[in-house]
Amino acid sequence: MEDLESKHYQELMALKKEYEEFVYIVSHDLKSPLRAIANISSWIEDDLEGNDNAEIIANFSLMKGRVARLESMMNALIELSRVNRLELDQYEVSIPELVKECAAMATTTPNVSFHYRIEIEHEKVTTLAKKLEKVLFNLIENAIQFHDKDKINIFIEIIETNLAYEFAIRDDGPGIPEAVREKIFNIFYTVSAKDLVETTGAGLTICKKIVKLVGGTIELVSGEGSGTTFKFSWPKEIVL
């Protein structure tokens, strides 16, 4: 029995090492040729200065955009791999203040209105504040980024229960079609074409991993055409 446990432990450690090596390869070794492609394309563009062939200019712009996207995707992979390892300090934050700061950070256009319903007894909590901030920021940013109307309304609800804070982020955007709802937490999946909204499609995957880490739950509640609501619970006490 003990031998079997030891064997499993060794296998687990070997897998962990393999995983860390994989992440290292993605973050360092693969980035190097990627940067080379980006740089060499800039040199060629530079050497072609004065050339007004619109097709060449447009193609260069396309290529640079794709290289930048590939870099963003690799950065997202690295970030995802580090969720369980980095920024694990717990410190005291005010939940309403944190939510409002995230809303301000995620707001890139002036046509966004936030509507709050905050029903909590204890505003301050000692928690994995950086992780909570990441989840809130990603969900609010998504609500704004994928909105399809001129005026954007975001409804944020926070309710305190005995064991957790229950968050709901709702928007009045296009909603998420039933057929793709199972896929939205998959890494690099995007509902609309990446050319329409420049995004890596990793934000929700990272949110889900963080919420799982703290022992909470996250779910999508959406009807197509009637906006999107993401609900997640964040335990008051987090034991890692």
Partner 1 sequence: MMISKLVNILLVEDDEVDVMNVKRAFSKNKIENPLYVAGNGVEALALLNDPDVPMPKIIILDINMPKMNGIEFLRLVRQNDKFKNISVFVMTTSNEDSDKINAYDLNVAGYILKPLSFEKFLSSVSTLKDYWKLCEM
Residue ranges in contact with partner 1 by CB under 8 A: 27-28, 31-32, 34-36, 38-40, 42-43, 46, 64, 67-68, 71
Shortest CB 36 distance to partner 1, Å: 4
**How buried is residue 93: exposed, middle or buried, by Cβ count under 10 Å (0-12/13-18/19+)?**
buried
Shortest CB 28 distance to partner 1, Å: 6
CA-based nearest residue to 177, from 232, 218, 228, 230: 228
Shortest CB 76 distance to partner 1, Å: 14
Rg (CA), the chain: 21
Please report how many Cα atoms fall inside a 13 Å half-sphere around the Cα of residue 27, on the Cβ side. Answer: 14
* Full DSSP string of 44-107: HHHHTTT---HHHHHHHHHHHHHHHHHHHHHHHHHHHHHTTTS----EEEEHHHHHHHHHHHH-
Inter-residue contact 133 to 125 (CB < 8 Å): no
Instruction: Determine if residue 215 is left, alpha or beta; phi over 0 gives left, psi from -120 to 50 gives alpha, anything else beta.
Output: left
Q: Which is nearer to partner 1, 26 or 120 (CB)?
A: 26
Q: Which is nearer to partner 1, 13 or 30 (CB)?
A: 30
Q: Which is nearer to partner 1, 42 or 109 (CB)?
A: 42
Shortest CB 35 distance to partner 1, Å: 6
Q: How many CB atoms lie within 10 A of CB 31?
A: 16
Q: Which is nearer to partner 1, 32 or 162 (CB)?
A: 32
Shortest CB 152 distance to partner 1, Å: 31
Q: Which is nearer to partner 1, 86 or 221 (CB)?
A: 86
Q: Which is nearer to partner 1, 71 or 219 (CB)?
A: 71
Q: Which residue has the tokens 């800039």?
A: 42
Shortest CB 190 distance to partner 1, Å: 21
Quote the distance between the C-alpha of residue 123 and its chain's center. 25
